[in-house]
Amino acid sequence: MTRPLTWLFTAAFALCTGCAGGPKWELKDPGPLPAEQRAILVAAEKHYRKGEPFVQLRQQIVADPVAAWWWTRMVVRDVVSVREGKVASAEQGSTFGEELGQRIREGRADTDDGAALLRATAGKKDPVEARALGELHELGVAAVPCLIVDLARHPQGFNRQLGVDLLARIGEAALPMVAQQLAASEDPAQRRTAADACADMFVRQGVLLDGAISQLLRLATDDDYGVRAAACAGLAHGGDVGTVTLLRVVRTDADAFVRRSAARALGQHRSAATAAMLCDYLQRCQTEHDTKGCEAAQMALQEHARTRGVRSLEAWRTYAATLAAAAKPGSARAVGR
């Protein structure tokens, strides 16, 4: 068991490790803890470590923003410690894991690297992590200020992605602060993090959230191409309104990277219109000798058709035409729906 109050210092240390080669980073001091609040946190931690309920103590913690911040930081420290252990495990016998682990320690991992590592270590259950994630769920919106400042604004990609994951687990309650503190930031990296968090909420919560969709639609018109691309990726799960935006982006966005992101997202939107647009996009990429764009178009069309294998433009046009014919009123396939 952690000695009483030592986590007040080690929690901050855990979040700062690995940044030696990256940007200077200092955690925000949420404020001093009066003796009474310290006693509450120490008592709560004893129950938390033993897996015992402490509903009343938690209510007292949540009622004080400073105490809630310190408590959330302690819980986050548990998640960080476990996932750092998963990094070490992934490094063993894995060139990818070893290289990425080194980049994380040196502070050179970006958001995509962090997401890749979280995927690589997914599914490895740990009781300490499960307990921490359960506690964050109980804290709900009270945990959001700490998650945004300590993690989502962190200069290191792995920590930012961890913030995205934890904010998405909280879900809709986190949206107002995500919009205010991240989506409205002057820093493109923070706006991109906002897009990632909104997108992950669809996956974690299993439902479309109007607030998250609204943020993604706005970020899809951002001045920064990276933010627009992240928003488009999120709109893969954005329903009909997401389809309209993605179709527009594929046609009109000036940046090839953003168009590729939108095209890939359209693979999730199965309709004759999206298939036709992806064929148009593939033709444009072939004309412009955009190899990466051609790859994105092929991958999106394969996902759209639920098949594997590259096809010619003509073959994909036939596929799109078949979908369009089947969708017409009176067609045999349409009648059988």
Look up residue 52 and give its two tokens. Answer: 């015992």
pLDDT reported for residue 97: 46
Give the model confidence (pLDDT) of 255-287 as tens digits: 999 999 999 999 999 899 999 999 999 999 999
Mean per-residue pLDDT, 294-302? 97
The DSSP result for 168-211, as a single string, is HHHGGGGHHHIIIIIIT-S-HHHHHHHHHHHHHHHHHHSS--HH
CA 56 to chain centre: 32
Provide CB contacts within 8 A for 223, sequence distance 6+: none
Give the model confidence (pLDDT) of 134-154 as tens digits: 999 999 999 999 999 999 999
Examine the pLDDT at 237 and tell me if it is beyond 90.
no
CA distance 114 to 116: 5
pLDDT reported for residue 334: 44
Residue type, 27: L
CA distance 137 to 124: 19
Examine the pLDDT at 3 and tell me if it is beyond 50.
no
Give the model confidence (pLDDT) of 79-96 as tens digits: 988 887 765 554 444 444
pLDDT reported for residue 81: 85
The answer to whether 108 and 34 have CB atoms below 8 angstroms apart is no
pLDDT reported for residue 204: 76
Mean per-residue pLDDT, 220-247? 93
Look up residue 75 and give its two tokens. Answer: 């819980």
Q: Sorting pLDDT into bands at 50, 70 and 90, what band is 24?
A: low
Residue with tokens 């095209």: 263
Examine the pLDDT at 9 and tell me if it is beyond 50.
no
Q: Which of 99-108, 141-150, 295-304 has the lowest mean pLDDT?
A: 99-108
Work out the burial of residue 204: count CB atoms within 10 Å of its CB; fewer than 13 is exposed, 13-18 middle, 19 or more buried. Answer: middle
Q: Which of 28, 45, 16, 8 is nearest to 146 (CA)?
A: 28
pLDDT reported for residue 28: 82
Residue type, 308: R
Mean per-residue pLDDT, 279-306? 96
Task: For the chain, give the percent of residues with pLDDT over 70.
Answer: 77
Mean per-residue pLDDT, 36-55? 94
Four-residue CA torsion sign, 96, 255, 202, 296: negative
Q: Which of 48, 42, 8, 12 is nearest to 130 (CA)?
A: 48
Look up residue 48 and give its two tokens. Answer: 């938390």
Residue type, 237: H
Look up residue 311 and give its two tokens. Answer: 């096809």
Please count the other Cβ atoms lying within 10 Å of the Cβ belonging to residue 28: 13
Mean pLDDT in the chain?
83
pLDDT reported for residue 111: 53
pLDDT reported for residue 208: 72
pLDDT reported for residue 27: 77
